[in-house]
Amino acid sequence: EAQVTQNPRYLITVTGKKLTVTCSQNMNHEYMSWYRQDPGLGLRQIYYSMNVEVTDKGDVPEGYKVSRKEKRNFPLILESPSPNQTSLYFCASMSVTDTQYFGPGTRLTVL
Amino acid sequence: AQSVTQLDSQVPVFEEAPVELRCNYSSSVSVYLFWYVQYPNQGLQLLLKYLSGSTLVKGINGFEAEFNKSQTSFHLRKPSVHISDTAEYFCAVSPQGGYQKVTFGTGTKLQVIP
């Protein structure tokens, strides 16, 4: 089954404690992306990757890092989380000729 | 730069009535256009997309959208809604030739009233 998985699904942490949200896809897609969803703001793109070792900033990259060492994985790293990063995060993957598949989401709370 | 405007944050409609969810976009280049649906506590699912060709695009669950280049719009329509259509709908745009930067609208919550 084609899918994008994210872990963890829920996370409560404290300010400044580094965390990583993992994202993995099993469709051999070149393109992967991270979004955050906030009420009234829709989804905003954080980072995207066109292929292994190729990443670029989206609209709201501040406070986030990503890496793409393998085609299937695209982790999102928060080096020093702050309360304004409390949000619902979605990972997505796509190939040029395919549709964009979204993961189930990770609800992050930073205290 | 590109942007998407969904003017209606909430749209209530009676069951079996028609509905139109509005989407306008702005871009300095040609674009691809998308509509996604998000059911409560779930991720996003693609409803339909416009890449090129016919301006009337049919999607899943009986939805369709029409690309209007002169009005820079991509409104979503359904002739008869069902309770199960209650969800949030997002319009999105990306530049043609690349899906790199995808910009979403702020969403429209469709509430179907029995």
The answer to whether B104 and A38 have CB atoms below 8 angstroms apart is no
**Predicted local confidence at residue A109, as pLDDT:** 97
The SS3 of residue B102 is: coil
CB contact under 8 A, B106 and A40: yes
CB contact under 8 A, B102 and A45: yes
A56 touches chain B (CB under 8 A): yes
**Predicted local confidence at residue A98, as pLDDT:** 65
A55 touches chain B (CB under 8 A): no
Peptide bond preceding A39: is omega within 30 degrees of 0, i.e. cis?
no
Beta bridge partner(s), residue A89: A36, A106
A39 touches chain B (CB under 8 A): no
Q: What is the mean pLDDT of residues B79-84?
A: 96
C-alpha B95 chain-centroid distance: 16
Q: What is the mean pLDDT of residues B50-66?
A: 93
Chain segment A31-72, per-residue pLDDT in tens: 999 999 999 899 999 999 999 999 999 999 999 999 999 999
CB contact under 8 A, B45 and A103: no
Chain segment A67-107, per-residue pLDDT in tens: 999 999 999 999 999 999 999 999 999 876 667 899 999 99
**Predicted local confidence at residue A97, as pLDDT:** 64
Q: Which of B82, B83, B104 is nearest to B34 (CA)?
A: B104
List the end-to-end C-alpha distance of chain B, in Å, as a whole number: 41
Burial class (CB in 10 A: 0-12, 13-18, 19+), A91: buried
Across A28-50, b (16+ Cβ under 10 Å) vs e yields: ebbbbbbbbbeeeebbbbbbbbb
**Predicted local confidence at residue B99, as pLDDT:** 63
**Can you tell me the distance from the alpha carbon of B87 to that of B107, in angstroms, rounded to the nearest whole number?**
10
The SS3 of residue B114 is: coil
**DSSP 8-class letter at A73:** B
C-alpha B51 chain-centroid distance: 14
Q: Enter the tokens of residue A80.
A: 């020093």
**Predicted local confidence at residue B98, as pLDDT:** 64
Torsion over CA: B96, A22, A79, A55 (sign): negative
